[in-house]
């Protein structure tokens, strides 16, 4: 019998800070600055969309690293050219 082992599966979304998610995914009254922490408590990964359009500053990456829990995966979207 052939056994296949699948690696870890991480489920997330493309981006985490959308105003139209307020009161749908994010609870009423949650400040925008708390969205990443709320998201990271429920998912294990997210795709960073902003990097496709404009590369974030090093300070932004450092801030995300400090604010995200250990083991959380941040997938960085980048243009091909």
Residues 20-72: tens digit of each pLDDT? 999 999 999 999 999 999 999 999 999 998 899 999 999 999 999 999 999 99
For 56, the 3-state DSSP assignment is coil
The alpha-helical segments, DSSP class H, found in 1-79 are 35-40, 50-53, 58-67
pLDDT(3) > 70: no
- CA triple 22-27-32, angle to 5 deg: 55
- Whole-model pTM: value is 0.83
Q: Output phi, psi for 62, to 5 deg.
A: -65, -40
Q: What is the pLDDT of residue 2?
A: 63
Q: Output phi, psi for 12, to 5 deg.
A: -160, -165
Q: Is the model more confident about 77 or about 7? A: 77
Other residues' Cβ atoms within 10 Å of the Cβ of residue 45: 16
């Amino acid at each position: 019998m052939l056994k296949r082992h699948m690696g870890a599966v991480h489920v997330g979304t493309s981006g985490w800070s959308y105003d139209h998610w307020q009161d749908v995914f994010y609870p009423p009254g949650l400040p925008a600055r708390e969205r990443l922490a709320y998201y990271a408590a429920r998912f294990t990964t997210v795709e960073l969309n902003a990097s496709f359009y404009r590369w974030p500053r090093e300070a932004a990456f450092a801030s995300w690293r400090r604010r995200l829990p250990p083991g959380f995966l941040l997938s960085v979207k980048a243009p091909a050219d």
